[in-house]
A and B are shown apart, each in its own frame.
Chain A
Amino acid sequence: MDYRLNFDAVWRSFDLLLSGLALGLGLAIVSIFIGSLIGLIAAFAMLSKNKLWRGIAVAYVTAIRNTPILVLIFFTFFALPQLGVRLGKIESFVFTLTIYSGAYLTEVFRGGLIAIPPGLREAGLAVGLTEWGAQRWVIIPVMIRNVLPALSNNFISLFKDTSLAAAIAVPELTFYARQINVNSFRVIESWTVASLMYVFACYIIAAGLRLVERKLAIP
Protein backbone atom coordinates (compact mmCIF):
# COMPACT_ATOMS: atom_id res chain seq x y z
CA MET A 1 0.00 0.00 0.00
CA ASP A 2 1.39 3.31 -1.01
CA TYR A 3 -0.96 6.10 -0.13
CA ARG A 4 0.14 9.45 1.31
CA LEU A 5 -2.45 11.62 2.92
CA ASN A 6 -2.76 14.98 1.22
CA PHE A 7 -5.62 17.23 2.15
CA ASP A 8 -4.85 20.05 -0.30
CA ALA A 9 -7.52 19.09 -2.78
CA VAL A 10 -10.08 18.84 0.01
CA TRP A 11 -9.17 22.20 1.53
CA ARG A 12 -9.32 23.84 -1.87
CA SER A 13 -12.89 22.61 -2.21
CA PHE A 14 -13.82 23.15 1.41
CA ASP A 15 -16.16 26.00 0.51
CA LEU A 16 -18.08 23.64 -1.72
CA LEU A 17 -18.32 21.07 1.04
CA LEU A 18 -19.59 23.74 3.42
CA SER A 19 -22.16 24.94 0.92
CA GLY A 20 -23.23 21.32 0.48
CA LEU A 21 -23.61 20.95 4.22
CA ALA A 22 -25.69 24.12 4.35
CA LEU A 23 -27.90 22.93 1.51
CA GLY A 24 -28.46 19.62 3.30
CA LEU A 25 -29.44 21.45 6.46
CA GLY A 26 -31.79 23.67 4.49
CA LEU A 27 -33.42 20.67 2.83
CA ALA A 28 -33.93 19.01 6.20
CA ILE A 29 -35.37 22.18 7.76
CA VAL A 30 -37.88 22.75 4.98
CA SER A 31 -38.87 19.09 5.03
CA ILE A 32 -39.38 18.87 8.77
CA PHE A 33 -41.54 21.98 8.80
CA ILE A 34 -43.90 20.90 6.05
CA GLY A 35 -43.61 17.30 7.23
CA SER A 36 -44.74 18.37 10.72
CA LEU A 37 -47.83 19.93 9.25
CA ILE A 38 -48.62 16.76 7.33
CA GLY A 39 -47.81 14.66 10.36
CA LEU A 40 -50.10 16.70 12.58
CA ILE A 41 -53.00 16.43 10.16
CA ALA A 42 -52.41 12.71 9.61
CA ALA A 43 -52.16 12.14 13.38
CA PHE A 44 -55.55 13.76 13.92
CA ALA A 45 -56.91 11.73 11.01
CA MET A 46 -55.59 8.55 12.63
CA LEU A 47 -57.38 9.38 15.85
CA SER A 48 -60.60 10.56 14.20
CA LYS A 49 -63.83 8.61 14.32
CA ASN A 50 -64.15 8.81 10.56
CA LYS A 51 -63.10 5.46 9.10
CA LEU A 52 -62.14 6.93 5.74
CA TRP A 53 -59.73 9.49 7.21
CA ARG A 54 -58.31 6.88 9.51
CA GLY A 55 -57.84 4.45 6.64
CA ILE A 56 -56.06 7.01 4.48
CA ALA A 57 -53.73 8.02 7.30
CA VAL A 58 -52.88 4.43 8.24
CA ALA A 59 -52.23 3.52 4.60
CA TYR A 60 -49.96 6.54 4.16
CA VAL A 61 -47.91 5.90 7.26
CA THR A 62 -47.62 2.15 6.73
CA ALA A 63 -46.66 2.46 3.07
CA ILE A 64 -44.02 5.15 3.58
CA ARG A 65 -42.48 3.67 6.70
CA ASN A 66 -41.98 0.29 5.08
CA THR A 67 -40.46 1.53 1.84
CA PRO A 68 -36.76 2.42 1.54
CA ILE A 69 -36.32 6.15 1.13
CA LEU A 70 -34.04 5.71 -1.88
CA VAL A 71 -36.88 3.96 -3.71
CA LEU A 72 -39.15 6.89 -2.83
CA ILE A 73 -36.56 9.38 -4.06
CA PHE A 74 -36.16 7.58 -7.39
CA PHE A 75 -39.88 7.10 -7.70
CA THR A 76 -40.58 10.81 -7.32
CA PHE A 77 -37.71 11.87 -9.56
CA PHE A 78 -37.84 9.26 -12.31
CA ALA A 79 -41.33 7.77 -12.27
CA LEU A 80 -43.64 10.67 -11.46
CA PRO A 81 -42.75 12.50 -14.72
CA GLN A 82 -44.47 9.61 -16.45
CA LEU A 83 -47.66 10.92 -14.81
CA GLY A 84 -46.84 14.44 -15.94
CA VAL A 85 -45.43 15.54 -12.59
CA ARG A 86 -42.05 16.97 -13.50
CA LEU A 87 -40.06 18.45 -10.63
CA GLY A 88 -36.54 19.82 -10.48
CA LYS A 89 -33.94 17.78 -8.56
CA ILE A 90 -34.16 19.85 -5.39
CA GLU A 91 -37.95 20.22 -5.44
CA SER A 92 -38.31 16.54 -6.12
CA PHE A 93 -36.03 15.64 -3.22
CA VAL A 94 -37.72 18.04 -0.80
CA PHE A 95 -41.07 16.64 -1.83
CA THR A 96 -39.92 13.09 -1.07
CA LEU A 97 -38.23 13.99 2.19
CA THR A 98 -41.33 15.90 3.30
CA ILE A 99 -43.68 13.01 2.58
CA TYR A 100 -41.19 10.68 4.25
CA SER A 101 -40.78 12.73 7.41
CA GLY A 102 -44.54 13.33 7.53
CA ALA A 103 -45.12 9.60 7.95
CA TYR A 104 -42.64 9.28 10.81
CA LEU A 105 -43.89 12.43 12.49
CA THR A 106 -47.46 11.16 12.28
CA GLU A 107 -46.47 8.37 14.62
CA VAL A 108 -44.69 10.80 16.92
CA PHE A 109 -47.66 13.15 17.10
CA ARG A 110 -50.18 10.36 17.41
CA GLY A 111 -48.31 8.99 20.41
CA GLY A 112 -48.10 12.50 21.86
CA LEU A 113 -51.82 13.13 21.44
CA ILE A 114 -52.77 9.82 23.01
CA ALA A 115 -50.60 10.61 26.02
CA ILE A 116 -52.44 13.86 26.81
CA PRO A 117 -54.91 13.28 29.66
CA PRO A 118 -58.53 13.90 28.52
CA GLY A 119 -59.08 16.27 31.43
CA LEU A 120 -56.95 18.87 29.69
CA ARG A 121 -59.30 19.10 26.76
CA GLU A 122 -62.26 19.31 29.10
CA ALA A 123 -60.63 22.07 31.09
CA GLY A 124 -60.15 23.97 27.84
CA LEU A 125 -63.78 23.46 26.93
CA ALA A 126 -64.85 24.43 30.44
CA VAL A 127 -63.31 27.89 30.10
CA GLY A 128 -65.40 28.30 26.98
CA LEU A 129 -62.90 27.41 24.26
CA THR A 130 -64.33 25.72 21.20
CA GLU A 131 -63.18 22.22 20.28
CA TRP A 132 -60.67 23.71 17.83
CA GLY A 133 -59.64 26.35 20.39
CA ALA A 134 -58.92 23.68 22.98
CA GLN A 135 -56.77 21.80 20.46
CA ARG A 136 -55.05 24.96 19.24
CA TRP A 137 -54.28 26.60 22.57
CA VAL A 138 -53.99 23.67 24.94
CA ILE A 139 -53.60 20.19 23.45
CA ILE A 140 -51.23 20.91 20.56
CA PRO A 141 -48.85 23.21 22.50
CA VAL A 142 -48.57 20.71 25.34
CA MET A 143 -48.16 17.78 22.96
CA ILE A 144 -45.46 19.51 20.89
CA ARG A 145 -43.44 20.27 24.00
CA ASN A 146 -43.76 16.68 25.15
CA VAL A 147 -42.55 15.23 21.86
CA LEU A 148 -39.69 17.69 21.31
CA PRO A 149 -36.97 15.10 22.03
CA ALA A 150 -38.49 12.78 19.43
CA LEU A 151 -38.72 15.68 17.00
CA SER A 152 -35.04 16.44 17.52
CA ASN A 153 -34.06 12.85 16.80
CA ASN A 154 -36.22 12.91 13.70
CA PHE A 155 -34.59 16.06 12.51
CA ILE A 156 -31.11 14.62 12.93
CA SER A 157 -31.96 11.51 10.96
CA LEU A 158 -33.60 13.65 8.27
CA PHE A 159 -30.43 15.67 8.06
CA LYS A 160 -28.43 12.51 7.54
CA ASP A 161 -30.94 11.35 4.94
CA THR A 162 -30.22 14.47 2.89
CA SER A 163 -27.01 12.67 1.85
CA LEU A 164 -29.24 10.59 -0.42
CA ALA A 165 -29.97 13.67 -2.50
CA ALA A 166 -26.56 13.02 -4.03
CA ALA A 167 -28.10 9.99 -5.73
CA ILE A 168 -30.09 12.37 -7.96
CA ALA A 169 -27.18 14.83 -8.23
CA VAL A 170 -28.42 17.45 -5.78
CA PRO A 171 -25.17 19.26 -4.87
CA GLU A 172 -25.06 18.66 -1.15
CA LEU A 173 -22.16 17.46 0.99
CA THR A 174 -22.06 13.83 -0.15
CA PHE A 175 -22.29 14.93 -3.77
CA TYR A 176 -19.23 17.19 -3.42
CA ALA A 177 -17.30 14.60 -1.43
CA ARG A 178 -17.81 12.15 -4.24
CA GLN A 179 -16.86 14.78 -6.79
CA ILE A 180 -13.59 15.53 -5.00
CA ASN A 181 -12.96 11.82 -4.69
CA VAL A 182 -13.46 11.23 -8.39
CA ASN A 183 -11.63 14.32 -9.62
CA SER A 184 -8.60 14.33 -7.33
CA PHE A 185 -8.40 10.71 -6.24
CA ARG A 186 -8.00 12.00 -2.68
CA VAL A 187 -10.27 9.15 -1.61
CA ILE A 188 -9.54 8.83 2.09
CA GLU A 189 -9.30 12.58 2.62
CA SER A 190 -12.57 13.46 0.96
CA TRP A 191 -14.63 10.81 2.74
CA THR A 192 -13.01 11.36 6.12
CA VAL A 193 -13.60 15.08 5.97
CA ALA A 194 -17.17 14.61 4.77
CA SER A 195 -17.91 12.09 7.52
CA LEU A 196 -16.41 14.33 10.17
CA MET A 197 -18.47 17.23 8.88
CA TYR A 198 -21.63 15.14 9.23
CA VAL A 199 -20.63 13.93 12.67
CA PHE A 200 -19.83 17.41 13.94
CA ALA A 201 -22.92 18.89 12.37
CA CYS A 202 -25.00 16.21 14.10
CA TYR A 203 -23.30 16.93 17.42
CA ILE A 204 -23.89 20.64 17.12
CA ILE A 205 -27.48 20.25 15.99
CA ALA A 206 -28.13 17.80 18.82
CA ALA A 207 -26.60 20.13 21.37
CA GLY A 208 -28.56 23.09 19.99
CA LEU A 209 -31.81 21.16 20.04
CA ARG A 210 -31.18 20.03 23.64
CA LEU A 211 -30.94 23.69 24.56
CA VAL A 212 -34.21 24.43 22.80
CA GLU A 213 -35.83 21.44 24.47
CA ARG A 214 -34.68 22.60 27.87
CA LYS A 215 -35.91 26.11 27.22
CA LEU A 216 -39.32 24.96 26.05
CA ALA A 217 -39.74 22.10 28.52
CA ILE A 218 -42.75 22.36 30.78
CA PRO A 219 -41.44 22.91 34.32
Chain B
Amino acid sequence: MDVAQFLHEFWIARGAIWDGFQMTVAISALSIFFGTLLGLFVGLALVYAWLPVRFVVRIYVDFIRGTPVFVLVLASFYILSVIGIQLTAFQAGILAITAFCSTHVGEMVRGALAAIPRGQSEAAMAIGLTFRQTFQSVLMPQALRQILPTWVNAATEMVKASTLLSVIGVAELLLATQQVISRNFLSLEFYFLAGFIYFLIDFSIERLGRFVEKKLAYC
Protein backbone atom coordinates (compact mmCIF):
# COMPACT_ATOMS: atom_id res chain seq x y z
CA MET B 1 0.00 0.00 0.00
CA ASP B 2 1.35 3.33 -1.01
CA VAL B 3 0.60 5.71 1.83
CA ALA B 4 1.42 8.87 -0.07
CA GLN B 5 -0.86 7.87 -2.92
CA PHE B 6 -3.63 7.00 -0.52
CA LEU B 7 -3.33 10.33 1.27
CA HIS B 8 -3.35 12.10 -2.05
CA GLU B 9 -6.49 10.28 -3.19
CA PHE B 10 -8.07 10.77 0.20
CA TRP B 11 -7.50 14.51 -0.10
CA ILE B 12 -9.25 14.50 -3.46
CA ALA B 13 -12.13 12.40 -2.15
CA ARG B 14 -12.54 14.09 1.23
CA GLY B 15 -15.57 16.09 0.16
CA ALA B 16 -17.41 13.07 -1.24
CA ILE B 17 -16.68 11.01 1.86
CA TRP B 18 -17.75 13.81 4.14
CA ASP B 19 -21.03 14.11 2.23
CA GLY B 20 -21.51 10.36 2.50
CA PHE B 21 -20.82 10.47 6.20
CA GLN B 22 -23.41 13.21 6.68
CA MET B 23 -25.90 11.22 4.66
CA THR B 24 -25.28 8.16 6.84
CA VAL B 25 -25.81 10.21 9.97
CA ALA B 26 -28.99 11.71 8.53
CA ILE B 27 -30.44 8.33 7.55
CA SER B 28 -29.59 6.82 10.90
CA ALA B 29 -30.85 9.73 12.95
CA LEU B 30 -34.14 10.06 11.08
CA SER B 31 -34.79 6.31 11.16
CA ILE B 32 -34.01 6.10 14.85
CA PHE B 33 -36.21 9.10 15.61
CA PHE B 34 -39.26 7.95 13.67
CA GLY B 35 -38.64 4.30 14.48
CA THR B 36 -38.53 5.01 18.19
CA LEU B 37 -41.67 7.11 18.06
CA LEU B 38 -43.54 4.43 16.15
CA GLY B 39 -41.96 1.71 18.26
CA LEU B 40 -43.31 3.19 21.48
CA PHE B 41 -46.82 2.90 20.10
CA VAL B 42 -46.10 -0.59 18.83
CA GLY B 43 -44.88 -1.64 22.26
CA LEU B 44 -47.84 -0.11 24.05
CA ALA B 45 -50.21 -1.73 21.58
CA LEU B 46 -48.59 -5.10 22.15
CA VAL B 47 -49.26 -4.83 25.88
CA TYR B 48 -52.43 -2.79 26.34
CA ALA B 49 -54.36 -2.64 23.07
CA TRP B 50 -57.72 -4.20 22.37
CA LEU B 51 -57.12 -7.81 21.35
CA PRO B 52 -57.79 -7.50 17.58
CA VAL B 53 -55.48 -4.47 17.42
CA ARG B 54 -52.85 -6.31 19.39
CA PHE B 55 -53.17 -9.18 16.93
CA VAL B 56 -52.65 -6.94 13.92
CA VAL B 57 -49.66 -5.23 15.52
CA ARG B 58 -48.21 -8.64 16.40
CA ILE B 59 -48.46 -9.66 12.75
CA TYR B 60 -46.78 -6.41 11.72
CA VAL B 61 -43.93 -7.01 14.16
CA ASP B 62 -43.41 -10.65 13.24
CA PHE B 63 -43.60 -9.90 9.54
CA ILE B 64 -41.05 -7.09 9.69
CA ARG B 65 -38.75 -9.02 11.99
CA GLY B 66 -39.01 -12.16 9.91
CA THR B 67 -38.00 -10.30 6.75
CA PRO B 68 -34.37 -9.34 6.18
CA VAL B 69 -33.84 -5.58 6.39
CA PHE B 70 -32.30 -5.70 2.94
CA VAL B 71 -35.55 -7.08 1.53
CA LEU B 72 -37.46 -4.37 3.38
CA VAL B 73 -35.30 -1.72 1.78
CA LEU B 74 -35.62 -3.17 -1.72
CA ALA B 75 -39.36 -3.79 -1.36
CA SER B 76 -39.97 -0.31 -0.03
CA PHE B 77 -37.97 1.19 -2.90
CA TYR B 78 -39.64 -0.80 -5.68
CA ILE B 79 -43.17 -1.22 -4.39
CA LEU B 80 -44.03 2.31 -3.29
CA SER B 81 -43.57 3.80 -6.72
CA VAL B 82 -45.87 1.31 -8.44
CA ILE B 83 -48.67 1.93 -5.97
CA GLY B 84 -48.44 5.61 -6.70
CA ILE B 85 -46.49 6.82 -3.67
CA GLN B 86 -43.67 8.88 -5.08
CA LEU B 87 -40.79 8.75 -2.67
CA THR B 88 -37.13 9.32 -3.34
CA ALA B 89 -34.76 6.43 -2.73
CA PHE B 90 -33.64 8.28 0.40
CA GLN B 91 -37.19 8.46 1.74
CA ALA B 92 -38.06 4.90 0.80
CA GLY B 93 -34.92 3.66 2.53
CA ILE B 94 -35.66 5.61 5.68
CA LEU B 95 -39.18 4.21 5.67
CA ALA B 96 -37.84 0.67 5.60
CA ILE B 97 -35.31 1.21 8.36
CA THR B 98 -37.89 3.08 10.42
CA ALA B 99 -40.15 0.04 10.20
CA PHE B 100 -37.24 -2.18 11.21
CA CYS B 101 -36.40 0.10 14.12
CA SER B 102 -40.01 0.33 15.26
CA THR B 103 -40.33 -3.42 15.72
CA HIS B 104 -37.09 -3.52 17.70
CA VAL B 105 -38.20 -0.70 19.97
CA GLY B 106 -41.69 -2.19 20.17
CA GLU B 107 -40.35 -5.49 21.46
CA MET B 108 -38.10 -3.68 23.91
CA VAL B 109 -41.01 -1.70 25.32
CA ARG B 110 -43.19 -4.79 25.54
CA GLY B 111 -40.42 -6.75 27.25
CA ALA B 112 -39.68 -3.98 29.72
CA LEU B 113 -43.32 -3.49 30.65
CA ALA B 114 -43.81 -7.22 31.03
CA ALA B 115 -40.79 -7.40 33.31
CA ILE B 116 -42.23 -4.97 35.83
CA PRO B 117 -43.71 -7.01 38.68
CA ARG B 118 -47.50 -6.97 38.87
CA GLY B 119 -47.25 -5.72 42.44
CA GLN B 120 -46.09 -2.34 41.13
CA SER B 121 -49.32 -1.49 39.39
CA GLU B 122 -51.34 -3.05 42.19
CA ALA B 123 -49.54 -0.87 44.71
CA ALA B 124 -50.15 2.18 42.53
CA MET B 125 -53.84 1.37 42.14
CA ALA B 126 -54.04 0.77 45.88
CA ILE B 127 -52.98 4.33 46.67
CA GLY B 128 -55.69 5.50 44.30
CA LEU B 129 -53.83 6.26 41.07
CA THR B 130 -55.78 5.89 37.85
CA PHE B 131 -54.43 3.71 35.09
CA ARG B 132 -53.08 6.72 33.24
CA GLN B 133 -51.38 8.04 36.36
CA THR B 134 -49.99 4.61 37.19
CA PHE B 135 -48.61 4.28 33.73
CA GLN B 136 -47.09 7.74 33.65
CA SER B 137 -45.51 7.90 37.06
CA VAL B 138 -44.83 4.26 37.95
CA LEU B 139 -44.61 1.94 34.96
CA MET B 140 -43.13 4.07 32.20
CA PRO B 141 -40.25 5.50 34.27
CA GLN B 142 -39.19 1.99 35.27
CA ALA B 143 -39.57 0.63 31.75
CA LEU B 144 -37.63 3.51 30.19
CA ARG B 145 -34.77 3.02 32.59
CA GLN B 146 -34.54 -0.61 31.59
CA ILE B 147 -34.85 0.13 27.88
CA LEU B 148 -32.35 2.95 27.58
CA PRO B 149 -29.10 0.91 27.36
CA THR B 150 -30.63 -1.57 24.88
CA TRP B 151 -32.08 1.26 22.89
CA VAL B 152 -28.71 2.96 22.56
CA ASN B 153 -27.26 -0.30 21.29
CA ALA B 154 -30.10 -0.71 18.80
CA ALA B 155 -28.94 2.59 17.37
CA THR B 156 -25.74 0.86 16.20
CA GLU B 157 -27.95 -1.60 14.31
CA MET B 158 -29.63 1.27 12.49
CA VAL B 159 -26.29 2.79 11.53
CA LYS B 160 -25.24 -0.58 10.14
CA ALA B 161 -28.56 -0.97 8.33
CA SER B 162 -28.13 2.45 6.71
CA THR B 163 -25.45 0.89 4.47
CA LEU B 164 -28.20 -1.06 2.72
CA LEU B 165 -29.40 2.17 1.12
CA SER B 166 -26.24 2.14 -1.00
CA VAL B 167 -27.84 -0.62 -3.06
CA ILE B 168 -30.83 1.57 -4.00
CA GLY B 169 -28.55 4.43 -4.96
CA VAL B 170 -28.52 6.64 -1.89
CA ALA B 171 -25.04 8.15 -1.70
CA GLU B 172 -24.39 7.45 1.94
CA LEU B 173 -20.94 6.60 3.19
CA LEU B 174 -20.69 3.15 1.60
CA LEU B 175 -21.91 4.20 -1.85
CA ALA B 176 -19.80 7.37 -1.69
CA THR B 177 -16.81 5.16 -0.93
CA GLN B 178 -17.61 2.87 -3.84
CA GLN B 179 -17.86 5.85 -6.14
CA VAL B 180 -14.48 7.06 -4.95
CA ILE B 181 -13.03 3.58 -5.51
CA SER B 182 -14.43 3.46 -9.03
CA ARG B 183 -12.30 6.52 -9.79
CA ASN B 184 -9.04 5.61 -8.06
CA PHE B 185 -9.22 1.79 -7.80
CA LEU B 186 -7.85 1.83 -4.26
CA SER B 187 -10.49 -0.62 -3.08
CA LEU B 188 -8.55 -2.07 -0.16
CA GLU B 189 -7.65 1.29 1.31
CA PHE B 190 -11.01 2.95 0.89
CA TYR B 191 -13.16 0.03 1.98
CA PHE B 192 -10.94 -0.14 5.00
CA LEU B 193 -11.42 3.56 5.60
CA ALA B 194 -15.20 3.23 5.32
CA GLY B 195 -15.17 0.25 7.68
CA PHE B 196 -13.09 2.24 10.11
CA ILE B 197 -15.45 5.22 10.07
CA TYR B 198 -18.42 2.92 10.73
CA PHE B 199 -16.44 1.31 13.47
CA LEU B 200 -15.81 4.67 15.10
CA ILE B 201 -19.49 5.62 14.94
CA ASP B 202 -20.73 2.29 16.30
CA PHE B 203 -18.00 1.95 18.86
CA SER B 204 -18.79 5.41 20.23
CA ILE B 205 -22.48 4.60 20.42
CA GLU B 206 -21.70 1.32 22.17
CA ARG B 207 -19.50 3.12 24.71
CA LEU B 208 -22.27 5.63 25.25
CA GLY B 209 -24.63 2.72 25.88
CA ARG B 210 -22.32 1.29 28.53
CA PHE B 211 -21.93 4.68 30.12
CA VAL B 212 -25.68 5.14 30.30
CA GLU B 213 -26.07 1.65 31.71
CA LYS B 214 -23.57 2.39 34.45
CA LYS B 215 -25.16 5.72 35.28
CA LEU B 216 -28.55 4.12 35.59
CA ALA B 217 -27.25 1.22 37.64
CA TYR B 218 -26.25 3.55 40.46
CA CYS B 219 -29.60 5.04 41.08
Q: Is the CB of A194 within 8 A of B194?
A: no
Give A170 Cβ to nearest chain B Cβ, in Å. Answer: 12
Residues of A contacting B68 in the complex (Cβ-Cβ under 8 angstroms): 160-164, 174, 198
Residues of A contacting B79 in the complex (Cβ-Cβ under 8 angstroms): 187-188, 191
Bound together, the chains give a CA A164 to CA B174 distance in angstroms of 14
How many A-B contacts if CB must be within 8 Å? 111
Q: Is the CB of A203 within 8 A of B195?
A: no
Bound together, the chains give a CA A170 to CA B190 distance in angstroms of 23
Residues of A contacting B70 in the complex (Cβ-Cβ under 8 angstroms): 163-164, 166-167, 174
Is B192 interfacial (CB 8 A cutoff)?
yes
- B residues 20-72 near A (Cβ < 8 Å) are 62-63, 66-72
Q: Is the CB of A68 within 8 A of B71?
A: no
- A residues 64-106 near B (Cβ < 8 Å) are 65-72, 74-75, 78-83
Q: Is the CB of B83 within 8 A of A188?
A: yes
A76 — nearest CB in chain B belongs to which residue?
B191
Is B217 interfacial (CB 8 A cutoff)?
no
Q: Is the CB of A72 within 8 A of B62?
A: no
Bound together, the chains give a CA A199 to CA B187 distance in angstroms of 35
Q: Known contacts A174-B68, A191-B74, A198-B68: does B83 contact A68 (CB below 8 Å)?
A: no
Q: Is the CB of B84 within 8 A of A79?
A: no
Q: Known contacts A83-B188, A191-B79: does B66 contact A70 (CB below 8 Å)?
A: no
Residues of B contacting A71 in the complex (Cβ-Cβ under 8 angstroms): 163, 174, 191, 194-195, 198
Q: Is the CB of A191 within 8 A of B187?
A: no
Q: Is the CB of B202 within 8 A of A174?
A: no
Residues of B contacting A174 in the complex (Cβ-Cβ under 8 angstroms): 68, 70-71, 74
Bound together, the chains give a CA A81 to CA B63 distance in angstroms of 38
Is B206 interfacial (CB 8 A cutoff)?
yes
Residues of A contacting B66 in the complex (Cβ-Cβ under 8 angstroms): 160, 195, 198-200, 202-203
In the A-B complex, the 3 residue pairs with the smallest Cβ-Cβ separation, listed nearest first, are A199-B66, A163-B68, A1-B84
Type the 1/0 row for B173-216, where 1 means its CB is closer than 8 Å to any CB of A: 01000100100000110011011001100110010000000000
Centre residue among B63, B66, B202 by max chain A CB count within 10 A: B66
Instruction: Please name 7 pairs of A and B residues whose Cβ atoms are closer than 8 Å in the assembled complex, sorted by A.
Output: A70-B163, A160-B67, A161-B68, A163-B70, A164-B70, A195-B63, A198-B67
Give A157 Cβ to nearest chain B Cβ, in Å. Answer: 9
Give A137 Cβ to nearest chain B Cβ, in Å. Answer: 36
Is A177 interfacial (CB 8 A cutoff)?
yes
Q: Known contacts A174-B71, A191-B71: does B194 contact A66 (CB below 8 Å)?
A: no
Is A135 interfacial (CB 8 A cutoff)?
no
Residues of B contacting A74 in the complex (Cβ-Cβ under 8 angstroms): 174, 178, 191
Q: Is the CB of B191 within 8 A of A195?
A: no
Q: Is the CB of B82 within 8 A of A195?
A: no
Is B108 interfacial (CB 8 A cutoff)?
no
Residues of A contacting B74 in the complex (Cβ-Cβ under 8 angstroms): 174, 177-178, 191
B156 — nearest CB in chain A belongs to which residue?
A66
Bound together, the chains give a CA A191 to CA B192 distance in angstroms of 33
Bound together, the chains give a CA A161 to CA B67 distance in angstroms of 10
Q: Known contacts A163-B71, A198-B71: does B206 contact A70 (CB below 8 Å)?
A: no
Is A181 interfacial (CB 8 A cutoff)?
yes
Bound together, the chains give a CA A174 to CA B195 distance in angstroms of 24
Give B69 Cβ to nearest chain A Cβ, in Å. Answer: 8
Centre residue among A81, A167, A192 by max chain B CB count within 10 A: A167
Bound together, the chains give a CA A202 to CA B75 distance in angstroms of 18
Picked from B75, B174, B198, the residue with its CB within 8 Å of the CB of A195 is B75
Is B167 interfacial (CB 8 A cutoff)?
yes
Q: Known contacts A68-B174, A74-B178, A188-B82: does B71 contact A79 (CB below 8 Å)?
A: no
